[in-house]
Structure 1
Amino acid sequence: MSIGRKEAVAVTIGVLLVTAAFVVPQLRLGIVTPLINSSPDRIKGLADTAPIFGWWNAHIGWGTVPAILIGLATVIWGASVAGRLSWRALTLTAWATSMSWAFALAMIDGWQRGFAGRLTSEHEYLRQVPTITDIPEAVRTFASRIVDFQPHSWITHVSGHPPGALLTFVWLDRIGLGGGAWAGLWCLLFGSSAAAAVLVAVRTLNGEATARLVAPFVAVAPTAIWIAVSADGYFTGVAAWGIALLALAVRGTGRRPVVTGAAAGLVLGWAIFLNYGLALMAVLAVAVLMCASSWRDAVRVLVPAVLAALVVVVAFAIAGFWWFDGYTLVQQRYWQGIANDRPFQYWSWANLASVVCAIGLGSVAGIGRVFEIAAIKRRSGLHLLILAALIAILFADLSMLSKAETERIWLPFEVWLTAAGALLPARTQRWWLSLNVIGALLLNHFILTNW
C-alpha cells in the first residue's frame, strides 16, 4: 500500500511525539520530565507510563478474545456492513459496536479492576455520594467546598468539576442504581453513544456517504479504552449529542431549527455543568454554525440555543451555584495539587502524544488531510468539526489546566478526531483502521490504565 505525503507527514509527527513522550522521562532531563519534586515511589505511582496515566503490566483477561474478535470483524467487514445497512440500523450498530468494544477492552483488566471498581477509588465521585444527605444544600454550598485544605473540602474529582457530575451519581444512587457497576454502565452507555452522535452530525453536514465511511473508525476507536471506565465518557456522550442536535437544527426547515436548536442548547448547557472544560465545545458549535446556508439561518439556530443554555445556567444560579465562581475556585484547587509538580515543559507537547495514543495512528493519518483549503472554503462539516476539535485541544493545552491524563480529559474533542479516517483514500482505509485497532489492543494489554 502506498502512503500519501500528507498521511506520511502526519503519522511521522505522531510517531515522533509518542516516542519522545515515552523516552524523554527515562533521560532525567531536569524539568523536561513528567514529575518534579517527587520520590521514586511517587513517580512510579503517578508517571510510570507517561504520557499515559497507568502502569506497565503485560496482561490478558476475559476481554482479550472478544476485543480481538470485535476489532478484527470491524476491520474485515465494517466498511461493507456500513454501506449496506439502513441508516437507523447503522447508527444503532455503531453504538452497539462501540459499547461492546469499550466493554471488552475494560474486561481485559477484569470485572472489578477494569470496570466495576474504577469509579469507587478514593478520588472518584462515588466516594462522595454517601455524604450527600441534602441535595439542595450540597448545590448551595458547592463552591465553598472546592478549595482544598479546609474542613469538608470535596474529594479530588468532585472539586474539579461543576456539581452536575456529582448530582448525576447521587440521582442514580437515589433510584437504586448505586455502586461502581451501575455507574460504569451509565458512563459506558453515554460514552459509546458518541459514536452514533458523530455519525448523525457528519451525515447532516456532509451527507450519508461520508457518514458511512466514518462509521468503522468511530465504532472501534482507541478512545474506547477510557470511555467505559471514566465519568469523562459520560461527559463525552452528552457533549457529542449537543453538537449533533445543533447540526440537525442548522440543516432543519420550518419550526424545526428553533426547537432542535433549543434542545441543543439545553444539552450543551448541561454539559458545562458536568465539566468546566466543555465550555470549549463552543468552538465546535461555531464550526457547525458555519455550515448554515446563510447567516440568518445560523442566527435562527443560535438564539434559541443560547437562551436554552442560559436556562440551565440560571437554574443552577437560583439553586445557589454560579458557574464562574466555580471555575475561578477550581483553578485555585488545581494548583494546590499535583499540577505544581507536572512541568509544562514536558506536558505541553506530551499531552498531544496522549491524544495520538487515544485516537490511533489511522486517525492521525486522516488529520493530515483535514487542512484542505478547498474543502474548508466549501464549508465541509467534517473538516470544520475536526479543525474545531484541534483548536479546542490547543486552547486546553495552552491554558496549562490540562497537564497529563488528557487521553481521558479530552475525550469530548478526541471522538471527533477519530472520524478523520474517513478522509483517507478508500483503498487504504481498512489498513489504517487495522492500525487503530492494533494500537488500542497493544496499549490496553501492556499498560494497566488508571481509568
Structure 2
Amino acid sequence: MAGAATRPGQRLAVWGTVAAVVLIAAAVLIPALTGWNVRVKSFPPLHAEWMPRVGPGTPLAVLLGVAGVIWGPRLASSVRWGRLLLLAFAASALWLFALATVDGLDGIGTILDHRYEYLGTAREVDDFGATLREYIERIPYAHEDNWPVHIAGHPPGALLFFVVLVRMGLGSALAAGFVVLLLGATTVVAVLITLRALGAADLARRAAPFLVFTPAAIWVAVSGDGMFMAVAAWGICLLALATRAGGVARIAWSVGAGLLLGYCVMLSYGLPLLGVLAVAVLVAGRSWIPLPIAAVSAIAVVGAFAVFGFAWWEAFPVLQQRYWDGVASRRPPGYWLWGNIAAFAVSAGPAIGAAFAAVGAWAIRGPRERRQVPELRTESGRGWEPRTIVLLLCAAGVLMVLLADLSNMSRAEVERIWLPFVPWITIGLALFDERARRWLLAVQVVAAIIVQSLLQTGW
C-alpha cells in the first residue's frame, strides 16, 4: 500500500519538473531560433545577458549546495525548533551571499546603485513629505523631471525604505545590499513559523531546505523585491499567529499583520494580491476574527500615505499609462503570457513545476478524497490536516502568480517582481516523499548555480 501511494508522487514530481524545464527551454529557444524580438535583454525570458564566469562566491555556493542536499533534510528534521530557525536563517544568508559574490562584493550592491533603482533618488530626498506631494505628478514620461523607472513603477513605500537607510548611514550600495540580503534571509524564518502556527510543523521542517536553497536567491540578494518578499512573509506570519492567539495577543498580532500587509501595498502595485494568501491563511487557521482588525490596520497605512499626499487609487491609473508608454507596449503578449511563467520557473527553480502539479492534482482529486478519507482532518477535528494546510497556501501562491500574469501588467522581469510569491509555492515541495524531495532539492541547487554562473542578471 505504501509503495502504491508513493509512486504517483514520484511521477507527479517528475512530470511537473520536466514540464517546467520544457517551458523554460521553449521560452529560451523560440526567440533565439526564430529571431522573434520579445523586447528584453539578450537572454529571454530573463532580463539577463549570457556571461559565463567563475567568481569568489562560486566555491562557497557549490559547497553549501552539496552540504544542503546531503545533510539539509536530516538536520531540518532533527534539530530543535529554535535551532532550526537560526540554522535556516544563517544558511539562507550564506546561500544569498555565495550566489551574489560570484561577481565579488560588487555583486551585492552594484545593482541597487543602478540609475533605475531607488538609492540614487533616496540620497537626494531631504523632505519626504514634499516628495509624497509631487510623487504622482512625476510618474508620467511626459513630466520634464519624471522619476527613474523603479521609483515611477512602485508606490513610495519602497523609496521610503531606502531613504531611511540613507538617514541611518547605510546608503552606500554595499551597505544597502547587505541590509536587503539579511532581510531577505529572514523570509524562510517567517514561512516556517507560519506553517507551524497553522499546525504543519513537520511539513515546515520538510520545506526548510527548499526555502533556503532556492534559485530565487539570485534576485533576492540584489533587488528591492527581496525586501518586499520578507515584509510580505512576516505580514502573513503575524496573521497566522493571530489565528492561534486569543485576547490581547490576537489583537496585537492582527494589528501587526495589517500594518505590514498594508505597507506591502505601498511597496508594489502587485502586492494587493497578497489578499489571496491572507484569505488562505485565515481558512487554514479556521479563524476570521483577525480579519477586520488586520484590514483596518492595513487601510490605516494606505490612508496615512494618502493624507500626506500619495493616494494609491489616484496613482495606479497614472502608473498604468506610463507602463504602456514604455517598452511593455512593444513586448508581444503572445510570448509573455507564457514566457512570464517560464521566467518564474527559472527564479523559483524548475522543481516548482512539481508544486504546481501537486496543486493541480489536489484541485482535481481533492473533493473526492475529502469525501472518502475522513482522516484529512486532525484527530481532534478542530483543524485541517497538515497536508491540506500546505496545499491551501501553495494553491494561493499559484493563484497569485496566475492573476498577476493575467493582469497584463507584468510583461517580463517577473523573476524579481514575483519574488514575494515564490516561498508560498515552494512549500508545496514538502508534500513529496523523501526520495523525491532529495532529487528535487538537488535540481534546485544545480539550477541556481548554473543560472548564476552563466548569466549576468539585470536585477
TM range (shorter): over 0.9
**1:25-63 per-position Cα deviation (integer Å, ceiling 9, x unaligned):** 023365xx422xxxxxxxxxx421111111101101000
Which position in structure 2 is the counterpart of 1:162?
155
- Once residues 79 and 292 of structure 1 are traced to their aligned partners in structure 2, the CA distance between those partners, rounded to angstroms, is 26
**AA in 2 matched with 1:149:** A
SS at match of 2:456: strand
Deviation at 1:257, TM superposition (A): 2.1
- Once residues 336 and 147 of structure 2 are traced to their aligned partners in structure 1, the CA distance between those partners, rounded to angstroms, is 26
**1:375-415 per-position Cα deviation (integer Å, ceiling 9, x unaligned):** 88855221111111111111111111111111110000012
- Once residues 395 and 47 of structure 1 are traced to their aligned partners in structure 2, the CA distance between those partners, rounded to angstroms, is 25
**AA in 2 matched with 1:274:** L
TM-score, normalised to structure 1's length?
A: 0.93
SS at match of 1:255: helix
Verify the 8 A CA contact 2:354 2:429 in the aligned structure 1: yes
**Aligned counterpart in structure 2 of residue 183 of structure 1, from 164, 176, 184:** 176
SS at match of 1:240: helix
Which position in structure 1 is the counterpart of 2:373?
none
**Aligned counterpart in structure 2 of residue 34 of structure 1, from 32, 38, 45:** 38
- Once residues 399 and 29 of structure 1 are traced to their aligned partners in structure 2, the CA distance between those partners, rounded to angstroms, is 27
- Once residues 398 and 444 of structure 1 are traced to their aligned partners in structure 2, the CA distance between those partners, rounded to angstroms, is 28
Q: State the aligned residue count.
A: 434
Verify the 8 A CA contact 2:198 2:285 in the aligned structure 1: no
Deviation at 1:341, TM superposition (A): 1.7
**AA in 2 matched with 1:54:** A
**Aligned counterpart in structure 2 of residue 23 of structure 1, from 17, 21, 29:** 29
- Once residues 316 and 82 of structure 2 are traced to their aligned partners in structure 1, the CA distance between those partners, rounded to angstroms, is 39
**Aligned counterpart in structure 2 of residue 388 of structure 1, from 386, 396, 411:** 396
SS at match of 1:108: helix
Deviation at 1:158, TM superposition (A): 0.3
Which position in structure 2 is the counterpart of 1:231?
224
**Aligned counterpart in structure 1 of residue 317 of structure 2, from 320, 328, 334:** 328
**Aligned counterpart in structure 2 of residue 130 of structure 1, from 123, 148, 152:** 123
Which position in structure 2 is the counterpart of 1:78?
72
Given the alignment of the two structures, is residue 193 of structure 1 paired with residue 186 of structure 2, yes or no? yes
Which position in structure 2 is the counterpart of 1:41?
none
Which position in structure 2 is the counterpart of 1:406?
414
- Once residues 121 and 236 of structure 1 are traced to their aligned partners in structure 2, the CA distance between those partners, rounded to angstroms, is 20
Verify the 8 A CA contact 1:217 1:421 in the aligned structure 2: yes
- Once residues 92 and 341 of structure 1 are traced to their aligned partners in structure 2, the CA distance between those partners, rounded to angstroms, is 46
Verify the 8 A CA contact 1:109 1:448 in the aligned structure 2: no
Sequence identity percentage: 40
- Once residues 85 and 354 of structure 1 are traced to their aligned partners in structure 2, the CA distance between those partners, rounded to angstroms, is 35
Deviation at 1:149, TM superposition (A): 2.5
Verify the 8 A CA contact 1:223 1:359 in the aligned structure 2: yes
**Aligned counterpart in structure 2 of residue 420 of structure 1, from 428, 434, 456:** 428
Which position in structure 2 is the counterpart of 1:7?
13
- Once residues 197 and 310 of structure 1 are traced to their aligned partners in structure 2, the CA distance between those partners, rounded to angstroms, is 23
Which position in structure 1 is the counterpart of 2:451?
443
Correspondence list, 1:271-350, <5 A: 271-293=264-286, 297-298=287-288, 300-350=289-339
- Once residues 85 and 176 of structure 1 are traced to their aligned partners in structure 2, the CA distance between those partners, rounded to angstroms, is 38
- Once residues 183 and 337 of structure 1 are traced to their aligned partners in structure 2, the CA distance between those partners, rounded to angstroms, is 28
SS at match of 2:422: helix
Deviation at 1:367, TM superposition (A): 3.2
- Once residues 260 and 187 of structure 1 are traced to their aligned partners in structure 2, the CA distance between those partners, rounded to angstroms, is 24
Verify the 8 A CA contact 1:193 1:237 in the aligned structure 2: yes
Deviation at 1:287, TM superposition (A): 0.6
- Once residues 411 and 130 of structure 1 are traced to their aligned partners in structure 2, the CA distance between those partners, rounded to angstroms, is 26
**1:223-280 per-position Cα deviation (integer Å, ceiling 9, x unaligned):** 1010000000000000011111111111223332222111100110111101111110
Of 253-262 and 72-81, deviating more is: 253-262
SS at match of 1:448: strand
**AA in 1 matched with 2:279:** V
**1:204-238 per-position Cα deviation (integer Å, ceiling 9, x unaligned):** 22421111111111011111010000000000000
Of 309-318 and 371-380, deviating more is: 371-380
Structure 2, unmatched stretches of 5+, are 1-5, 371-375, 378-383
C-alpha distance 150-27 of structure 1, shift in aligned 2 (>3 A): same
Given the alignment of the two structures, is residue 434 of structure 1 paired with residue 442 of structure 2, yes or no? yes
**Aligned counterpart in structure 1 of residue 351 of structure 2, from 354, 362, 376:** 362
- Once residues 319 and 88 of structure 2 are traced to their aligned partners in structure 1, the CA distance between those partners, rounded to angstroms, is 36
Deviation at 1:190, TM superposition (A): 1.5
- Once residues 128 and 439 of structure 2 are traced to their aligned partners in structure 1, the CA distance between those partners, rounded to angstroms, is 51
**AA in 2 matched with 1:148:** Y
**Aligned counterpart in structure 2 of residue 204 of structure 1, from 185, 197, 201:** 197
**AA in 1 matched with 2:178:** L
